[in-house]
Structure 1
Amino acid sequence: MRTKPSCEGLSNCYFCGMSILQNNRVFLLISFGLLVFTSCDSLFKKKVEKEPLARVGDSFLYKEDLTSFIRDDMSAQDSALFVTNYINNWASKQLLLSKSKINLSEEKLNEFDRLVSDYRADLYTRAYIEALVLQAQDTAVTTSQLRQYYEKEKENFKLNEKLVQLRFVGLPTQFLDKDEVIAKMKDWGDADKRYLDSVAVQFKKIHFNDSIWVGASRVMEAIPPLTPMNEEKYLKKSQFFEIQDSLGVYLGKVTDVLEINDTAPFEYISPDIRQLILNRRRLDYVRRLETEIIDEAIKKNEFEVYEKDE
């Protein structure tokens, strides 16, 4: 009696090959399905749902929208109060916005949309241009360039405030050597300056650099008894003054004065001139940049203007 051959251990058996292949295929399909299911399941688990704090219509305010505003030094009470106020403000804006879209005309809404779009474009382009300017702008301005600009535009640099050159000290009301200080302030020789420097720790205020120009308003801030009502009396060229209030005595020597509408001195106006030069360079750079951008776009066929049909 012929027995059926055993296929056990035979990987290339003709008679059992189909069933073996089928079994392997089923096993592979099941394994692949489990792998996909497991992978998808892990993907879904990794997805973090946003935590909503409030809703107005279809708009949501999420917890992560506020995280950057919460400071580490805030107490729990302060944080809670801030979040409550923020939510209420947000909700108020959203509700007003939704009502405005309903009640404003279509023409007005389109106008506002255009303004918002223009403003958004301006923000982006301005930030980009400023970054380019900071990279490329030459901020070095020589004294020669400042002087040349000053001489060219001198007539345009008229003062809108009185300027003075002076030296002054503020003394306590009971200062014992006031007469000595007055004599030294008037004479102003090298020995006088050394003496004043040696006793300067006893002064309440001190300004010995009488070669710089100072606005009259700044002088009045430094010397409270000086006011717009009496500054004409004390702030005169070559004037020595003594003036006091309940807090102290002020001794001053005015060496020079420039009145309103006089030409501003170079030393006083040079910081403004430097800024004017830098602003002009910036404008020139921006104009050149805009021209180069358009020219490059035309060459690359990224920009063209269509002729209108007559």
Structure 2
Amino acid sequence: MNKTLAIFCVSILPISCDFFEPKPPENPIARVNKSYLYQKDIADLISKNTSPEDSASIVSNYITRWATQQLLIDQAQINLSPKKIEAYERLVTDYKNDLFTEAYKATIVGKQMDSTITNAEYESFYAANKHNFKLKEELYKLRFIHVDKEFANFVETKQKLNRFNTKDKEDLVKMRLKFKAANFNDSVWIKKEALLLQLPVLQINQDKFLKKQIFAQIQDSLGVYLLKIEDVLVPGDMAPLTTIKPTIEQILLNKKKLQLVKKLEKDITKDAIKNKNFEIYTLQ
């Protein structure tokens, strides 16, 4: 009989349990022992487009999960030792304190931090730490042209790409629309994986063509490729600054954040002492 009454009180409290418990300040939708679930607690569960049937199911499931959790919590309070309960409550308090303090520090740092990093800062950090940035894959500086097999002025174009003085570059840029594909920016490092995706024809004879200062002419069913490799870096070489700038940026931004956090912690403690809001008493 007692078990039946307990279940009855949890499931249809608004009708049957008011006689046994004083009414809470606002109308609840469920109760488990001394814990109440209110309308405001489920206000955000249902969107405007949810059907009445789905809404009822969502609310019902939520109430059941809430009741189960409350019952487990109540049983934990009864069956766990006081020492364990105290330890868990301390963890909860510490976690809550960490959430609030970290959120506040993040807000202040976000308002005060200058996220701009100058080239001088990049270069200074790179010079002091470049030995820590070793490549794990090949990098290439290159230029190339992909043309049809019947492309006119092929010999002249080949000479311009190989020689590549200022006039040659200007001429090739003007001709760009005549090429099937081209890259003239040979000052940028390209990863081997990206290069092979862009020029699959190189996958067959990588050792032959992917060498420093090589000029190659390669042909397949899609046309003719003219390729000039200007420079190559291999695994174990120091990574160029341009390739690790995003990593350095994050490191420098994190350092700025830490400096601001330390200053914030120092200033807030200093102000509290000055305003007599923080005192340390002598132990008796």
TM-score by length of 1: 0.64
1:58 aligns with 2:34: yes
Greater Cα radius of gyration, structure 1 or 2:
1
Answer whether contact 1:164 1:216 (CA < 8 A) is retained. yes
1:192 aligns with 2:172: yes
For structure 2, which runs of at least 5 residues remain unmatched after alignment?
A: 1-24, 162-167
CA-CA distance at 1:242 after TM superposition: 5.8
CA-CA distance at 1:57 after TM superposition: 2.7
What residue is the counterpart of 2:129 in the other structure? 153
Answer whether contact 1:234 1:241 (CA < 8 A) is retained. no
Change (3 A) 1:213 1:76: farther
CA-CA distance at 1:295 after TM superposition: 1.5
Counterparts of 2:62 and 2:236 in 1: how far apart (Å)?
A: 52
CA-CA distance at 1:60 after TM superposition: 2.5
1:297 aligns with 2:272: yes
- Partner of 2:44, secondary structure, is helix
Matches within 5 A, 1:19-98: 49-52=26-29, 54-98=30-74
CA-CA distance at 1:123 after TM superposition: 0.8
1:76-110 superposed Cα distances (whole Å, 9 cap, x missing partner): 44434433433333233223323333332222221
1:180-232 superposed Cα distances (whole Å, 9 cap, x missing partner): 4997588534333433x3146x66xx7554422233344456667888x9866
Change (3 A) 1:296 1:75: same
What residue is the counterpart of 2:113 in the other structure? 137
Counterparts of 1:113 and 1:277 in 2: how far apart (Å)?
A: 38
Selected match of 1:115 from 91, 107, 117: 91
Counterparts of 2:39 and 2:116 in 1: how far apart (Å)?
A: 48
CA RMSD of aligned residues (A): 3.7
Change (3 A) 1:281 1:198: same
Counterparts of 1:213 and 1:70 in 2: how far apart (Å)?
A: 52
1:281 aligns with 2:271: no
CA-CA distance at 1:114 after TM superposition: 0.8
1:4-61 superposed Cα distances (whole Å, 9 cap, x missing partner): xxxxxxxxxxxxxxxxxxxxxxxxxxxxxxxxxxxxxxxxxxxx94451x33332232
CA-CA distance at 1:65 after TM superposition: 1.6
CA-CA distance at 1:264 after TM superposition: 1.4
Counterpart residue type for residue 143 of structure 1 = N
1:306 aligns with 2:281: yes
What residue is the counterpart of 2:231 in the other structure? 256
Change (3 A) 1:56 1:141: same
Counterparts of 1:128 and 1:142 in 2: how far apart (Å)?
A: 28
Selected match of 1:177 from 143, 148, 158: 148
- Partner of 2:280, secondary structure, is coil
Answer whether contact 1:166 1:252 (CA < 8 A) is retained. no
Counterparts of 1:237 and 1:68 in 2: how far apart (Å)?
A: 62
CA-CA distance at 1:243 after TM superposition: 9.3
CA-CA distance at 1:119 after TM superposition: 0.8
Identity, in percent, stands at: 35
- Partner of 1:61, secondary structure, is strand
TM-score by length of 2: 0.69
Counterpart residue type for residue 177 of structure 1 = D
Counterparts of 1:193 and 1:286 in 2: how far apart (Å)?
A: 51
Counterparts of 1:83 and 1:250 in 2: how far apart (Å)?
A: 66
Answer whether contact 1:55 1:61 (CA < 8 A) is retained. yes
CA-CA distance at 1:167 after TM superposition: 4.9
Counterpart residue type for residue 153 of structure 1 = N
Counterpart residue type for residue 177 of structure 2 = S
